[in-house]
Structures are given as structure tokens and as C-alpha cells.
């Protein structure tokens, strides 16, 4: 064993300081430190980077989802262009800070019972998992999707779900479908076509978006707040 390592730690530190001090010029000192201590230096740097990454990851994912909205069989300019207008509007409408409590808006799901492709199968699986996990709240979809999900018993009946005042505002926009479980006709969709928020803000073009709410939505009150602002929206 080298004799230097028989010294006490304090003595070794003192000797190393003397060696560094005896190097001429900053460049020589830096070169000496790097040559002899690059492994522990790199270890510290990697450790610090790892800790920062973990902390950022925890902070980024440590929040509550106040509303989970999914686009199905349709897409708005907002989602396609990544402007996050809907995210911003919902954050304001729900009175949340957007940091500890956030909204989630996702899309590009394709559901068509008559066309079973890899894409439609994957969409169906993911949306079903979100329902089982009680993560999904509401949809903006088309008639094909609304019928399919109603037939599966996944959607709320607006006649039972909405407050009387809001129900009267949307009564002429209700879309009825047969519930596959009960066999009853239920108001499972609300036609949003032509509403200012849809045509001027989200911009669906020729698509006819329909609003629906998941039967076991974890945030039903926030779904109602969302719908109220869509219906009453003014620039």
C-alpha cells in the first residue's frame, strides 16, 4: 500500500493542497485537479444532474388533474397547432392555478365500430383503460363515436345529469342514443355545432363536434362548468 494512504485524512488533504499550490498558473492547477480527480468530479456532476432530473420529474408529475378532456374522431385547430387555448380557457374557468391543479386535453383518437384497424383498436383500448381507471371526464367527438360509446353504456344521460337551467339551454341540442346496457334511449350528447366558442376559438371547420360526459367521470361538476362556458361563451 502506498505510504501516502497511511496518513490521516486531514494530513492527505493538506498534502494535496500543497501539491496544487505548487502548480504554476491557473491552467496547471486546473490540469492537475482534472488529471487526478476527474473520476470523483464526474461522479459528483452525474449525481447532481440525476438529482435535479428526479426533482424536476417529481415536480412535473406531482399535480392533480381537475378535468380530462379527449377529442375523438375530430380535431380542433387548437389541438392540431398546439396553441393550448382550451387548456388556458379551462384553467381560468375552473379557477385553478395550472401548476398544482391542471387540465389534460388529448386527442387524435379514432373510434369506428365498423372499421377495425390497428389505430381504432388502440384508441378503444386506451379510452377504455381511462374509464376503468376513472381518469376520463368528457369528450368532444363525432356522431359515430357518441353512438358507439352510448351503446357500450359509457356515457351520462344529460336529462338526469345537468342542472335544470343548463338543461333548458341545451334542450334543442340534445342527441339521443340507445344505451346498450339498459336498452333505453338517453340524451348522451350535446351538439356544439355553430356555437361561437367552437367556430371562432377551437375551430373545427366542417366537423360537427358533440359533447359527452363519461358515466363515471371523476369531476362531474367541472364537466358542467366546462359546458356552461361553451354554451354562454362571449369573446
> Could you write out the DSSP letters of every residue in the chain?
--GGGGS-HHHHHHHHHHHHHHS-HHHHHHHHHHHHHHHHHHHHHHHHHHHHHHHHHHHHH--EEEEEEEEES---HHHHHT--HHHHHHHHHHT--SSSEEEEEEEEE---TT---HHHHHHHHHHHHHHHTT---EEEE-HHHHHHHHHTT-B--HHHHS-HHHHHHHGGGEEEEE-TTT--EEEEEEE-TT-HIIIIII--TT---EEEEBTT-S-HHHHHHHHHHHHT---
Confidence of residue 2 (pLDDT cuts 50, 70, 90): very low
pLDDT at 105: 95
Phi, psi of 64 (to 5 degrees): -95, 140
The three cell numbers of residue 216 are 363515471
pLDDT mean over 206-231: 96
pLDDT at 28: 65
- Highest-confidence segment of 60-69, 77-86, 129-138: 129-138
On average, the pLDDT of the chain sits at 84
Q: Does 205 have pLDDT greater than 70?
A: yes
Nearest to 189 by CA among 165, 207, 162: 162
Q: Does 170 have pLDDT greater than 70?
A: yes
Confidence of residue 197 (pLDDT cuts 50, 70, 90): very high
pLDDT at 187: 96
Q: Does 89 have pLDDT greater than 60?
A: yes
Amino acid at each position: 500500500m502506498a505510504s501516502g494512504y497511511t496518513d490521516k485524512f486531514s494530513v492527505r488533504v493538506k498534502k494535496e493542497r500543497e501539491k496544487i499550490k505548487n502548480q504554476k498558473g491557473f491552467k496547471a492547477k486546473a490540469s492537475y485537479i482534472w488529471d487526478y480527480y476527474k473520476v470523483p468530479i464526474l461522479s459528483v456532476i452525474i449525481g447532481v444532474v440525476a438529482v435535479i432530473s428526479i426533482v424536476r420529474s417529481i415536480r412535473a408529475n406531482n399535480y392533480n388533474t381537475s378535468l380530462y378532456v379527449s377529442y375523438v374522431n375530430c380535431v380542433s385547430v387548437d389541438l392540431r397547432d398546439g396553441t393550448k387555448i382550451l387548456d388556458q380557457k379551462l384553467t381560468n374557468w375552473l379557477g385553478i392555478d395550472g401548476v398544482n391543479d391542471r387540465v389534460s386535453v388529448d386527442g387524435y383518437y379514432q373510434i369506428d365500430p365498423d372499421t377495425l384497424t390497428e389505430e381504432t383498436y388502440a384508441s378503444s383500448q386506451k379510452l377504455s383503460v381511462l374509464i376503468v381507471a376513472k381518469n376520463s371526464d368528457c369528450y368532444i367527438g363525432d356522431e359515430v363515436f357518441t353512438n358507439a360509446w352510448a351503446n357500450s353504456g359509457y356515457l351520462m344521460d344529460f336529462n338526469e345529469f345537468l342542472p335544470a337551467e343548463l338543461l333548458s339551454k341545451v334542450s334543442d341540442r340534445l342527441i339521443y342514443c340507445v344505451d346498450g346496457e339498459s336498452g333505453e334511449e338517453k340524451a348522451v350528447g350535446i351538439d356544439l355545432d355553430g356555437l361561437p366558442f367552437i367556430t371562432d376559438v377551437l375551430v373545427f371547420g366542417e366537423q360537427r363536434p358533440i359533447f359527452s360526459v363519461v358515466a363515471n367521470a371523476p369531476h362531474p361538476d367541472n364537466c358542467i362548468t366546462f359546458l356552461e362556458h361553451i354554451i354562454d361563451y362571449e369573446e
